[in-house]
Structure 1
Amino acid sequence: MLPATAVALAVLAALLAWPVPAALARSRWPVRDPLVALVCWQAVGLAGGLSMIGALLVHGLAPWGHSLPEAVWTVLTSRPAGTAVRGDHWVALTLAAVLAFQLVGVLVLSWVRIARTRRRHRELLELVVQPGPQADARLLEHPAPVAFCIPGARPLLVLSSGMVAELDEEQLAAVVAHERAHLAERHHLLLLPFVAWKAALPVLPAAERAHGSVRELVEMRADDVALGSLHGTAPRRTLAEAIVAAAGGQGGGAVPTGALAVSGTGVRARVVRLLEPADPLPATARWVALAGAVLLLLAPTALLLLPAVS
C-alpha cells in the first residue's frame, strides 16, 4: 500500500494537472490583476512538477526511510533498506527519474533553442535596421504595422516603417512603452516554464491551457505597465488603437519567432479590457491570492521534507 505521503502528493499532482488550472483559466479575476495571476500560475506549475515527481520518489524510496531526507541519506551511505524493496518501488524510482529528466531536460532544451533562435534573428535584424524614432528603438523597412522586441542579453526593440507611418505620436509612444515593459520585467522568463511544460507533456490539456493563459496575462501586464508611463487625455484608447493597428499587420510575417509583440495573444480581450476597465482587485483579494500561491508551493515541499505520514 502506498504511504500516505505519496498518496497526498499524488492527489495534489492530479489537482494541479487538471481542475486547478482549469478553474484558474476560467476565472475572471486574473484580468483585474495580471501580475498576481502570473504569480499564481508560476506556483501552479512549480508545485505541480514537485508533486508529480515527489509522489513517485516518496513511494520508491519508502523502504529506505520514513522521510525523503532520511531515505536519501540511507541510500547515499549505502545502508540497507529497512523493509523489503518490491518491484513497484523500482518502477516508481524509474518513472520519477524519467519524469524529472523530461521536465528539466525540455526546459533546458527550450531555453537553448529559443535563445539560439533569438540570437540569429537579432543578428539578421541588426544588419538591416536603422535608428528609430525612439532612442532605444530601431526602424525596420516593412510595409505592415509591426512592433516587437527580442529579449536577451542584448535586447532589441523594433518598429516597422509601416507602424511609424500608421500611428500618431501618442500611439507610437504607447507601443514602445508596451515593448519596454516586456523587456524590463523579463516576461520571456515567465513564459519559458509553460513553453517547456507544453512541450514535455503535450497530452496534458492543462499544459496548453496554462500556456495560453500565461501568454495573454503577460500581454495584459505589459499593457498595464505601459499605461503608467503614457500621457494625454485618453491613454487607454490610445493604446487600444495601437494594438488594433498592430494586430492588422500580423499577417505581414515580420514578427520573428521568440519575439514579444504588442499584437500578441488575446487582442480582443485586451482591447475590451482597456476600453471597459474593470475595478482593480481589492488589496485583501490580492493578498489572499498571493498567500494561496505561497501555500501551494509549501504544500509539496513540506510533504517531501517532513517525516512521512504513515
Structure 2
Amino acid sequence: MLPTTAALLAVLAALLAWPVPALLARARWPGRDPLVALLCWQAIGLAGGLSIIGALLVHGLAPWGHSLPEAVWAVVHGRAATGAVRGDHWVTLTLAGVLASELVGVLLLSWARIARTRRRHRALLELVVQPAPEPDARLLEHPAPVAFCIPGARPLLVLSSGMVAELDGEQLAAVVAHERAHLGEHHHLLLLPFVAWKAALPVLPAAERAHGAVRELVEMRADDIALGSLHGSAPRRTLAAAIVAAAGGAGGVPAGALAVAGAGVRARVVRLLEPADPLPPAARASALAAAVLLLLVPTVLLLLPAL
C-alpha cells in the first residue's frame, strides 16, 4: 500500500517548507558561489512542490494501486478500487488538485502580470529615451543615478543622465556589464518561481526567505559576471563604487526591472571589497549533488512501487 510513501513525501515536504530553506538562507557559503546556491534554491522549490502535491496524491489514490503510476492507470481506465475508499482519500485528492491548480495558476498569473508591467514600462520609456554613451544602452533624462534593465523579448537597458554624470567611464562600464549579465543569463526567470511561491503561500515564512535570498544571489551572480568583463587596476572597487552610487537612485527603478542596486547592496559591497575564497571543488560538487538528490528523492518515491 502507499501510506508509507505518502508519509515520507509529507516529511520531505515539511523539511523543505521550513528547516532546509532556513538553513540555506543563514549559510555563508552561497555568497562564495551564487550560481550553485541559485541551483540549490531552485531544487528546493521544485522538490517542495512535488513532495507536498505528491504526498496528497499518493494518499488519495492508495485504494487504486500499489504505486502511483499503477493507481493513476487504474483511475484513467475506470477500474474499481482494490481497497476501501474513505473520505480522507477524497479530501486529499481534492487538496492535491486545489494546491496544484493554485501553484500553477499563481505562477502563470505572476508571469502575465510582470510581463504586462514590463511591456507598459518599456513602451513608455521608448518614448523618452535616447542613445547612451554605452553601446546597447539608452539614456533617460533623470537627475537621480538610476540604472536598470527590463528583460523580455525586446530587452531595454536604461541609464539615467544622473548616473552618467556621477560615474566615471570605468564605473559606468561596470554598471552596464552588470545589467547585461542579468539579461544574458535570464535572471528574471530564476526569480519568477519565487515571486509566485511568495504570492501563493504568503503565510509561509520560507516563501519570503527564499524570495529575498534568490534576489540577492541573482545580484551577486551578475556582479561576478560583470567583474569578468571589467578592466583596470581595481575592478572590484570600481563595481562597488558604482553599486553605492546607484543605491541613491534605487527608488526610481520601475516594477519588474532588474537594477544594479536591486538587493543586498551592503552585503554585495562587502563581498566585493573583502572577497572570500572561492568555494572548494569538493564543496561545490557536494552542493550540486544535494540539489540533484532533492529532485530525485520525491521523483523516485512517486514512480517506484510503494514502500
TM-score grouping bracket, smaller chain normalisation? over 0.9
Aligned residue runs from structure 1 range 125-140, under 5 A: 125-140=125-140
- Displacement after TM superposition at 1:248 (Å): 1.1
- Displacement after TM superposition at 1:2 (Å): 7.0
Check whether the contact 2:145–2:161 (CA below 8 A) recurs between aligned residues. yes
- Equivalent residue for 1:101? 101
- Equivalent residue for 1:208? 208
Size of the aligned set, in residue pairs, is 307
Q: Tell whether 2:284 aligns with 1:259.
A: no
RMSD: 0.8
Aligned residue runs from structure 1 range 103-118, under 5 A: 103-118=103-118
- Displacement after TM superposition at 1:250 (Å): 1.9
- Equivalent residue for 1:274? 272
For residues 188-226 of structure 1, give each alpha carbon's deviation from its aligned partner in whole angstroms, at most 9, with x where no partner exists: 000000000000000000000000000000000000000
- Equivalent residue for 1:301? 299
State the SS of the aligned residue for 1:148.
Answer: strand
Amino acid across the alignment from 2:135: A
Identity of aligned residues (%): 85
Amino acid across the alignment from 2:153: A
State the SS of the aligned residue for 1:79.
Answer: coil
- Equivalent residue for 2:288? 290
Check whether the contact 2:178–2:225 (CA below 8 A) recurs between aligned residues. yes
State the SS of the aligned residue for 1:138.
Answer: strand
Unpaired runs of at least 5, structure 2: none
Amino acid across the alignment from 1:233: S
TM-score normalised by the chain length of structure 1: 0.98
For residues 29-81 of structure 1, give each alpha carbon's deviation from its aligned partner in whole angstroms, at most 9, with x where no partner exists: 00000000000000000000000100000000000001110000000110100
Aligned residue runs from structure 1 range 105-254, under 5 A: 105-251=105-251, 254=252
Distance, in Å, in 1 between the alignment partners of 2:212 and 2:2 is 35
State the SS of the aligned residue for 2:48.
Answer: helix
Distance, in Å, in 2 between the alignment partners of 1:178 and 1:109 is 28
Distance, in Å, in 2 between the alignment partners of 1:104 and 1:265 is 27
Check whether the contact 2:2–2:66 (CA below 8 A) recurs between aligned residues. no
TM-score normalised by the chain length of structure 2: 0.99
Amino acid across the alignment from 1:142: H
- Equivalent residue for 1:9? 9
For residues 226-250 of structure 1, give each alpha carbon's deviation from its aligned partner in whole angstroms, at most 9, with x where no partner exists: 0000000000000000000000112
State the SS of the aligned residue for 1:228.
Answer: helix
Q: Tell whether 2:63 aligns with 1:90.
A: no
- Equivalent residue for 1:39? 39
Check whether the contact 2:240–2:269 (CA below 8 A) recurs between aligned residues. yes
Check whether the contact 2:2–2:306 (CA below 8 A) recurs between aligned residues. no
Amino acid across the alignment from 2:194: F
Distance, in Å, in 2 between the alignment partners of 1:80 and 1:227 is 63
Distance, in Å, in 2 between the alignment partners of 1:152 and 1:308 is 44
Amino acid across the alignment from 2:19: P
Distance, in Å, in 2 between the alignment partners of 1:152 and 1:69 is 38
Distance, in Å, in 1 between the alignment partners of 2:155 and 2:148 is 11
Distance, in Å, in 2 between the alignment partners of 1:306 and 1:115 is 39
Check whether the contact 2:149–2:258 (CA below 8 A) recurs between aligned residues. yes
Unpaired runs of at least 5, structure 1: none
Check whether the contact 2:147–2:163 (CA below 8 A) recurs between aligned residues. yes
State the SS of the aligned residue for 1:85.
Answer: coil
For residues 1-40 of structure 1, give each alpha carbon's deviation from its aligned partner in whole angstroms, at most 9, with x where no partner exists: 9710000000000000000000000000000000000000
Distance, in Å, in 2 between the alignment partners of 1:263 and 1:216 is 10
Q: Tell whether 2:21 aligns with 1:21.
A: yes
Amino acid across the alignment from 1:274: L
Distance, in Å, in 2 between the alignment partners of 1:170 and 1:97 is 53
Amino acid across the alignment from 2:260: V
Amino acid across the alignment from 2:299: T
State the SS of the aligned residue for 2:229.
Answer: coil
Distance, in Å, in 2 between the alignment partners of 1:136 and 1:104 is 35
Distance, in Å, in 2 between the alignment partners of 1:242 and 1:12 is 43
For residues 157-204 of structure 1, give each alpha carbon's deviation from its aligned partner in whole angstroms, at most 9, with x where no partner exists: 000000000000000000000000000000000000000000000000
- Displacement after TM superposition at 1:299 (Å): 0.3
For residues 248-298 of structure 1, give each alpha carbon's deviation from its aligned partner in whole angstroms, at most 9, with x where no partner exists: 1123xx211000000111000000000000000011111110011000000
State the SS of the aligned residue for 2:61.
Answer: helix
Distance, in Å, in 2 between the alignment partners of 1:308 and 1:156 is 51
Runs of 4+ deviating beyond 6 Å = none
